[in-house]
């Protein structure tokens, strides 16, 4: 019998899921962190998308957006400094943009891997 991620996530504590996700994100046997986050983003709810975008943006800062292709889209959504992306705004961001943002965030703030892992573990339906 094969268990899928949702079944495991519902049964396992958040910290165990976060550690497993971090290992996957860092593995040289899986796609790059940015690619994995972009893929997860494409399958996420609006609330999850907004949460992940806000995590990534906190790691790179608004000035870094100018360096990314399509960064103007995110900068436009942010408007004034300190404003967080809403679920409706997050739906307008492409997984490709998130992939670029995540890759950049990993280079500038390696702790984003642990933050993203904890975020997805907490928002996966796992037990506390």
Give me the pLDDT at residue 14, please. 81
Give me the pLDDT at residue 13, please. 82
Give me the pLDDT at residue 67, please. 67
Q: pLDDT of 18-63, one tens digit each?
A: 898 899 999 999 999 999 999 999 999 999 999 999 999 888 876 6
Q: Annotate 77-121 with three-state secondary structure.
A: HHCCCCCCCCHHHHCCCCHHHHHHHHHHHHHHCCCHHHHHHHHHH
Q: pLDDT of 65-84, one tens digit each?
A: 666 655 566 666 665 445 78
Read off the pLDDT of each residue in 11-17 and give the average, rounded to a whole number.
Answer: 80
Q: Is the Cβ–Cβ distance between 113 and 121 less than 8 Å? A: no
Please give the structure tokens belonging to residue 87.
């679920």
| Every domain of the chain and the residues it spans | 38-122
Phi, psi for 13 (deg, rounded to 5): -65, 150
């Amino acid at each position: 019998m094969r268990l899928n991620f949702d079944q495991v996530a519902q049964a396992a504590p958040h910290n165990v899921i976060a550690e497993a996700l971090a290992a996957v994100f860092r593995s040289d046997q899986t796609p790059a962190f940015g690619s994995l986050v972009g893929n997860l983003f494409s399958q996420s709810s609006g609330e999850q998308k907004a949460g992940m975008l806000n995590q990534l943006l906190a790691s790179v800062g608004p000035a870094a957006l100018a360096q990314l292709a399509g960064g103007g889209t995110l900068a436009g959504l942010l408007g004034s400094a300190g404003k967080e992306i809403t679920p409706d705004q997050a739906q307008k961001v492409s997984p490709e943009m998130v992939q670029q943002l995540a890759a950049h965030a990993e280079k500038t703030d390696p702790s984003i891997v642990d933050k993203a892992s904890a975020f997805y573990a907490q928002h996966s339906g796992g037990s506390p």
